[in-house]
Amino acid sequence: MTQRSLSTAADRRSELVDAALSAFSRGGYAGTTITDVAHEAGISSAYVLKLLGGKEQLFVAALDRCFERIEETLAGAPMGGTPTEILDAMGDAYADLIADRTLLLIQVHAQSVAAIPAIGDALRSGLARVTRFAKERSGAADADVQRFIAFGQLCHLVVTAGIADVDDDWARALTDGLRHPEI
């Protein structure tokens, strides 16, 4: 007799969070329904609600997963060198990570609905986490960490607005020296 492996609620919750991350990155908060997330996860809407509650909780869980992946990626960047070199290595790792637009877009969508208290709190918490990690790992001064975060946000803008494809002086000014994923 073959024994079938049943997934635990924790496993399903993790799969659901990944599905929510994908669905919300495509449709944003307003444009994604619980049914969309359920379909992405291959489960019923009722089970989605049982596992994670409503849409706001799903979005927050997806955003938290995004920042977990960012921190894991930054942690995997090569160490060594000056604080600036360490930040540059983390920036390169981040640029590679967001070549898959999922994590980039969930952050952009979160910024657009940050007035929703739980989402704004989760966004600020994730940014705090990444900022503290970058500072602690690199040993860089606050101004250098600020520049690191600012370049990451500029990279988001360049990619989402297609600025790298614009052949004009203003676009070159924004993209000069900036490595961003080719999408």
Up-side HSE of residue 2: CA atoms within 13 Å toward CB?
3
- Residues 41, 19 contacting (CB under 8 angstroms): yes
Report yes or no on 3 lying in a domain. Answer: no
Report yes or no on 53 lying in a domain. Answer: yes
- The whole-angstrom separation of Cα 66 and Cα 169 is 34
Contacts of 75 (CB under 8 A, 6+ apart): 133, 137
Report yes or no on 181 lying in a domain. Answer: no
Amino acid letter, residue 36 = D
The pLDDT assigned to 181 comes to 54
Q: Which domain holds residue 72?
A: 9-175
Report yes or no on 82 lying in a domain. Answer: yes
Report yes or no on 2 lying in a domain. Answer: no
- The whole-angstrom separation of Cα 15 and Cα 52 is 11
Report yes or no on 1 lying in a domain. Answer: no
The pLDDT assigned to 12 comes to 87
The pLDDT assigned to 180 comes to 55
pLDDT tens sequence across 107-117: 999 999 999 99
Report yes or no on 4 lying in a domain. Answer: no
Q: How many domains does the chain have?
A: 1
Report yes or no on 133 lying in a domain. Answer: yes
pLDDT tens sequence across 95-140: 888 888 899 999 999 999 999 999 999 999 999 999 999 999 999 9
CATH of the domain at 69: 1.10.357.10
- The whole-angstrom separation of Cα 96 and Cα 99 is 5
The pTM score is 0.88
